[in-house]
A and B are shown apart, each in its own frame.
Chain A
Amino acid sequence: MKTSERHAAFQAWLCAHLGTLVKVARAFAATDADRDDLLQELLVALWDAAPSFQGQSQASTFVYRVAHNRALNWKRARTRLLGRRTLHTEWTLLTAPDEDAATRERLEQLYAALRTLEPLDRTLMLLSLDGLSYAEMSEVSGLTANHVGVRLTRARAQLKRVLGAREEGHG
Chain B
Amino acid sequence: MTSFQSTSVEWSGETPVPQKLSWFQRLQPSSLLWLFLAAILVVLVVAPMSMLLVTSFTDGATGGWTLGNYVEAYGHERHVTALTNTLKMGAAVVVLKLLFGVPLAWACTRTDMPGKNFVRYGVFGAFILPPYLGAVGWILLAGPNTGWINRAWYALSQSSEPLVNVFSFWGLVLVTSIGGFFLVFVFVSTAFEMISSEMEDAANMLGAGPVKTAMKVTFPLVLPAIIGSAMISFLGAIALYGVPALISIPARYPVVVIQLAEFFSFPLRVEVAAAYSIPLLLITMSLLGLQRLVLNRKGYTSISGKGGERRLVKLGKWRWAMFGYCFVVVALAVLMPLIVLLMAAFSKNWTSFSFDGLTLSNFYYVLFQHSSSQKALITSVSVGAVAATAAILLALCIGYIVQRKLLPFSSALAFIAVSPFVIPGIVLAIGFYAAYAFPPLALYGTYTILVLAFVTRFLPIAFTTSAAGIRAIHPEMEDAVRILGGGRLEAVRSVVAPLLKRTLAGGWLLIFVPAAQELSTAIFLVGPTTRVVSVVLLDLSEEGQLETLAALGTLLLLIIVAVVAVGFRYLGRDFMLRRQ
Q: Say if A and B assemble together.
A: no
